Structure 1
Amino acid sequence: MINPVSPFPGVTIESVPESSKQNVALAVAKARKAQTAWANTEVSNRVKILDRFHKLLIENQDELLTTIQAETGKSRFHAADEILGLAMITAHYAKIGKRALAPKRRAGALPIFTKTYVLSQPKGVIGIISPWNYPLVLSICDALPAILAGNTVVVRPDSQTPWSAIRGLNLLRQAGLPEDVITIVTGDGNTTGTALIDEVDYVCFTGSTKTGKIVAAQAGARLIGASLELGGKNPMIVCADANLKTFLEVAVRGCFTSAGQLCVSIERMYIHESIYEKFLSAFVKKVKELKLGAQLGWGYEVGSLVTDALVNRVSDAVSTAVAQGAKVETGGKLRTDIGPNVYEPTVLTGVTKDMKISTEEVFGPCVYVQPFSSTEEAIALANDSIYGLSASVITSNARNGRQIAEQLRSGSVNINEGFAAAYGSVAAPMGGMGQSGLGRRHGIEGLLRFTQPQTIARQRWISIGPKFGFDEEQWTKLLGKSLLILKRLRIR
C-alpha cells in the first residue's frame, strides 16, 4: 500500500494500492485493447465528453480543492489555479479538436493528377508520468488531447498525490469516458514509472531534468517518442521604466505561488540599477506581509512545502548560499509554529555566479535579486543558464518588452506577468528550451504530438512514368521544364 502523508497537521490521506510491474503491463494491455474501438469513435463524440467534463470540474471544485490542498499543502487560492487552468485547457481542446484532427489536403506530386491528403493517426497507448506539485492538472491536461486524438492513456501520478488524479479520472468517467480509455497505476518512479515506459507507445513526463534524461534514454532505446517538461531557473528582468505597483503584484505572485513549487516560478530577479534600491526595499516589505498557513480552507496566501525532503532541500540551498556570502533580506526560516513544512518566503541578495544557488533550481519559496546596468547585461544574465523554461520582463514600454523577450532563450516569456499570461494562453504551446525539456503541451502542438501523420496520395488519369511515346531521357527533360513553369506560376 501507498500511504501519502499530508503536509497539514491533523489531516489524513487515504492509502491506495501499489501497482506491481504485472499490474502496469495488464493496465497497458487493457488500454491497447480498448484503443481500437476508441479510435473508431467520432471525434465529435469525444468532444462531448470533454464538454461534460468541463462542466463537472466547475461543479465539483470544492471537493477537488480540498483534495489538492490535503495532498500538496498549498493555499486554496493556488489550488484553484489547477481547476481553472484545467477547465481552460479542456474548453480549448473541445473547441479545436474536430478541425485540428480533420484530414488536410496537400499539394500532390503532379497538379490535378495527384490528390494528396494527410491524416492524423493516433499513436496508440500513451503513458503519463505526472508530478506532485500540480497533481490534478498535470495528471489530466495531457491525457485530454491524447484521448481526443484517439489514443488511450495510462497515468502514473506521484505517490504523494494519487487522489487528485483519481478524482479527476472519476469525473471523466462521469462525463461518459469508457472504461480503460484512461487508467491509473500507482507506485514509485523506479518501479512503476519504468515499467510504464517499457510498455507504452509514447510517454509524457513532467519532473526534474535529472529524471527526464533517464526517461528520454529509456524511451529512445525503444524508439518511442517523448515529451518532457523539466526544470527551470526562471529569470525576471525589471526595466528602468517599470511600474512599481505592477512589479510588486507580479513579482510576489511569480515567485511564491504554490510556495515556489512550480516549474515556471521566478528564482532569479534582475532589477535596473537606477531603481534597484527602491524596488528591492518595496519587494522585501511586500514579501514580509505575506500570510502563511497550513490548514484546509481559505485565509492565507502561502502554504507548505509538500515533504520533509523538500524542506531539507530548500533549507540547504539557503544556508549554503549564506555560507558562501549571500544575504537574507527576509525569510530563510522554517516556521514549525505554523506547520511542519512551512518555509518563509525568502529573498536573497549578494548572490554571485560561483554560488550553487545562482544556477541550480531550488523549487521552493526563494528568489535572489541583483542589479544590472544595461539591457544587454540583463539579457546576458537571464540567458546564462542551462535551462530555458519561462522568463518575465517588467516594463512600461510594450515595444521594449517585446524586443527583450525575443532575445531570451526561453520557451515562454511573459511581459508584465510572472508566468500566468503565457501558461494561461492555452491556445499557444508551452515547453522548454535547453535542459528544460523536449516537446510542447497546450495549443495544437500539444494535440498533434499524440498523432502520427499519415500521407495518402492517389494518382489519377495519368501515371508518373514516361508517356506519349517519350523515352526516359525526353520525359526527364519535359518534367524539368514543367517544374520551371510551375515555379514561375507559383504552383510549385
Structure 2
Amino acid sequence: MPATLRISPISADRTAQLVADLTSTSGTTAEVIAPFTGAVLHALPLSTADDVVDAAAAARIAQKAWRAAGFAHRRAVLLRAHDLLLERRNELLDILQTETGKTRGNAFEEVFAGASVTRYYAVSARGVLRTRRRRAGIPVVVKTRVGYKPKGLIGVITPWNYPIALSIMDVIPALASGNAVVQKADNQGALSILASRRAFIDAGVPEALWAVVAGDGTEIGTAVVDAADYVCFTGSTPTGTKVGERAASRLIGASLELGGKNPLIVLDDANPTDAAASAVYAVFSSMGQLCVSIERIYVDRLVAAEFTRAFVERTRGLRQGSALNYSTDVGSLTSAALLDRVSKHVDDAVAKGATVLTGGRARPDLGPFFFEPTVLTGVTADMECFANETFGPVVVIAEVASETEAIAAANASDFGLNASIFTGSLARGRRIAELIDAGSVNINEGYRGSFSSIDAPMGGMKQSGMGRRNGPEGLLRFVEARTISESTGLINLPRTGEEFEKLTGLMTATLQVLKALRWR
C-alpha cells in the first residue's frame, strides 16, 4: 500500500518565506486546506484592491527598464530560471501535490511544461518579434516595416488546478516580450505559483516586474482587469465571460481559456485495448480536474464491448492514494466543493437510470476529498453530466453506429476545447480531425500531444474561450503591431489634381505589373 501523507513536507519557515512574496497589506488571511488530509496547510495573506493598484504602479516602473534591457538580457535570465526550475523540481513537486492533491506523475507534468515553455520563449521571442519589412503599397517609392511594442502591463488570473503550468504559459511569454505582470493566484494554488516565481526572481527577474496577489475573485480579479493593458484568464465559462466583458468595456484585449466537455472517439479500426489504456489516462489524469481532459467517449459498436471491458478493467486497477512518490496513479479531488459536485453528477445520473460500471463513490478511508474513478453508461440528455462539465473523475461511454454519428455526437456541445480520435489509420484520423469543432484534436492520444506542443497554439472554440496561448500566437497577444513607412524620395506621391493626372497612368500600370508577377 502506498505511503500516505500525514504532515506537509514543506516546512513552516519555507511556507512563510514564500507567502511573504505576496503583495498584501490587508492583515487578513485565508486558510488553505491540504486535500490529502483536510488539515490546514497554511494561512494565506489576502490582498486588497489598493494592493493591486500599488503593485501595478510598481510593475509599470520596472517594465520600462526590463523592456530597455533587450531580448538578449531577457533570454539569459529566462534560461537561468529554466535551470532553477529543474534544480528545484522536488520541492515544486511536493508543494504541487500537497496543495492540489494530484499524483507525483501529474505534478511532474506541470514542472516539465513550465520548463519547456520558459525555454521556448527565451529562445524564440527575438525571432518572432523582430521588425520585418512588408511590401509597400508602391514598391521602390515607399518602404514599410512592421515592428512590435509591448502592451505594458499584463493581468493574469490563474486557477488552482494547474497552478505552475498555466501560470508560466501566460506569464513567461508576457515577460519575454518585454511586459510586466500582475497575477492573481487562486488561494489553493498560490504557494505553487510563488515557489515557481521565486526561481525566476532568483534568476534575475525584478521582483516588482512580476507581482502576485490573492483574494476574492470579484474584488481582486476585477482590480487586476482594471489595472492591466491586456488580460489572460483561465477558468469557468461564466466567470470568463464576465472578465471578457469588463476587458472589452476598457477597450483592452483578453485571452480566455474556459470550460470543456471534451469528447474521445474510438473508431472501428482502432486497437481497443491500446485505446482503452490511453483513454483511461486522458480521463483520470489529475482526477479529471483539467480543462482538456476527456469526459465523453463515443466508441464504434464493432469494438465497443472489447474497449469498454478493457477500459473498466484498467480503471479498476488504478492505484489511488496520497503518496509523495510515483507509487500512485490517481490522487484526490482538491476541495469539498468539487467532491460535492462530482457526487451530485453521479447520483443524479444513477437516479435517472444510468449504470455505474465501476467507481461511483467517495473514499473517505483514503482522505476527505477522494472519489473513485467512475465509468457511466446509459447517460441521457436529462442528466447533469450529459452536457455540463463535471471537472472530476467521471466519464460517460456511449456506443455509436458509424464515424458520422461519432463526429456529430462529438460536435453536439456548447464547448470546443479539446478532442481525441483513436484509429488504426492516421490518414483517417487526420480526415476526421478536420471535421471536429475543437481548438485542439489529438490522434491516438488524449490531450498530451497538443498540450505539450509548446510551439503550437492552444485555446478553445465556442463556449471554451477566445484567443490562444503557446506558440508565436502566445507572444503576439502581448504586443501591439506598429507599421512604419518611409518615402524613398525617388518619386513624390501626387498631392494635387495635376500631379494625379500625370501619375495615374504609371500607378495603374504598376498594379497591372504586380498582378502579372503575382506579387501580393
Assess same fold via TM > 0.5: yes
Measured in 2, the distance between the counterparts of 1:23 and 1:294 equals 36
Q: 1:6 to 1:465 in 2, by over 3 A?
A: same
CA contact (8 A) 1:9 1:295 kept: no
Does 1:451 pair with 2:471? no
3-state SS of the aligned residue for 1:2?
A: strand
Alpha-carbon separation, structure 2, partners of 1:469 and 1:306: 73
Q: Distance in 2 between matches of 1:467 and 1:488?
A: 28
Structure 1 portions without partners, runs of 5+: none
Change (3 A) 1:341 1:10: closer
Residue 40, structure 1, aligned to residue 68, structure 2: yes
CA distance in 2, matches of 1:310, 1:354: 21
- Aligned partner letter, 2:409: L
Q: Offset of 1:141 from its aligned partner?
A: 2.0
- The counterpart of 1:397, out of the listed 425, 436, 458, is 425
Determine the structure 1 residue equivalent to 2:22. Answer: none
Residue identity opposite 2:213 in structure 1: V
Q: Map 1:31-180; keep pairs closer than 5 Å.
A: 31-180=59-208
Aligned pairs, number: 492
Moved more, 201-210 or 173-182: 173-182
Native 8 Å contact 1:429 1:446 kept in 2: yes
Distance 1:334 1:464 in 2: 78
Contact 1:66–1:297 (8 Å) recurs in 2: no
Q: 1:258 to 1:482 in 2, by over 3 A?
A: same
| 1:249 partnered with 2:289 | no
For 1:407-418, list aligned pairs within 5 A: 407-418=435-446
Alignment match, 2:416: 388
Q: Deviations over 1:198-221 (max 9, x none)?
A: 111110000000100010011011
* 8 Å CA contact 1:294, 1:342 repeated in 2: no
**Paired residues of 2:387 and 2:413 also in contact (CA < 8 A):** yes
Instruction: Compute the displacement of 1:465 (Å).
Output: 2.7
Offset at residue 466 of structure 1 (A): 2.5
Q: Secondary structure at the match of 1:237?
A: strand
Alignment partners' CA distance in 2, 1:276 and 1:312: 31
Partner of 1:308: 336
Task: Kindly indicate whether residue 248 of structure 2 is the aligned counterpart of residue 230 of structure 1.
Answer: no
Corresponding residue number in structure 2 for 1:437: 465
State which of 20, 24, 32 in structure 1 corresponds to 2:52. Answer: 24
SS of the equivalent of 1:457 reads: strand
Alpha-carbon deviations, 1:397-456, whole Å to 9, x = none? 010000111100000000000000011111100100101001011100011110110101
- Amino acid in structure 1 at the alignment position of 2:45: P
Determine the C-alpha separation between the residues in 2 that align with 1:28 and 1:463.
48
Q: Structure 2 stretches of 5 or more lacking a match?
A: 1-28
Q: Output the CA distance in 2 between the equivalents of 1:217 and 1:109.
A: 37
Residues in 1 aligned to 2:471 and 2:497: alpha-carbon distance in whole angstroms: 52
Which amino acid in structure 2 is aligned with residue 274 of structure 1? L
RMSD: 1.5
Q: Which residue of 1 aligns with 2:19?
A: none
TM-fit CA distance, 1:481 = 2.6
Tell me, yes or no, if the aligned pair for 2:273 and 2:310 is still in contact at 8 Å. no
Query: Take 2:175 and 2:266, find their aligned partners in 1: how far apart are those partners?
Result: 41
State the partner residue of 2:11. none
- Separation (CA, whole Å) in 1 of partners of 2:496 and 2:202: 64
Q: 1:52 to 1:207 in 2, by over 3 A?
A: same
- Write out aligned runs for 1:292-441 (5 A): 292-441=320-469
**How many angstroms does 1:88 deviate by?**
1.2
Specify the code of the residue in structure 2 equivalent to 1:17. P
Output aligned runs, 1:196-207, within 5 Å. 196-207=224-235
Q: Which amino acid aligns with 1:345?
A: P
Q: 2:245 corresponds to which residue?
A: 217
Conserved? CA contact 2:277–2:311, under 8 Å: no
Asked if the contact 1:8/1:295 (under 8 Å) is kept, the reply is no
The two structures have a TM-score, normalised by structure 2, of 0.92
**In structure 2, distance between residues paired with 1:309 and 1:355:** 19
Q: Which residue of 2 is the match for residue 472 of structure 1? A: 500
Instruction: Identify the range of structure 1 (348-357 vs 231-240) with the bigger mean alpha-carbon deviation.
Output: 348-357
State the partner residue of 2:12: none
Tell me the amino acid that sits aligned with residue 430 of structure 2: R
Give the fraction of aligned pairs with identical amino acids, expressed as a percent: 47
Equivalence for 1:272 = 300
Using the size of structure 1 for normalisation, the TM-score is 0.97
- The structure 2 residue matched to 1:284, chosen from 284, 297, 312, is 312
Judging changes above 3 Å, is the alpha-carbon distance between structure 1 residues 467 and 14 closer, same or farther for their aligned structure 2 residues?
closer
Superimposed CA distance per residue, residues 200-252 of structure 1 (whole angstroms, 9 cap, x where no aligned partner): 11100000001000100110111110000000000000011111332122111
2:14: which partner in 1? Answer: none
The 1:10–1:384 alpha-carbon spacing in structure 2 relative to 1, beyond 3 Å, is closer
Task: Give the Å deviation of 1:468.
Answer: 12
AA paired with 2:69?
T
Whether contact under 8 Å (1:6, 1:12) holds in the other structure is: yes
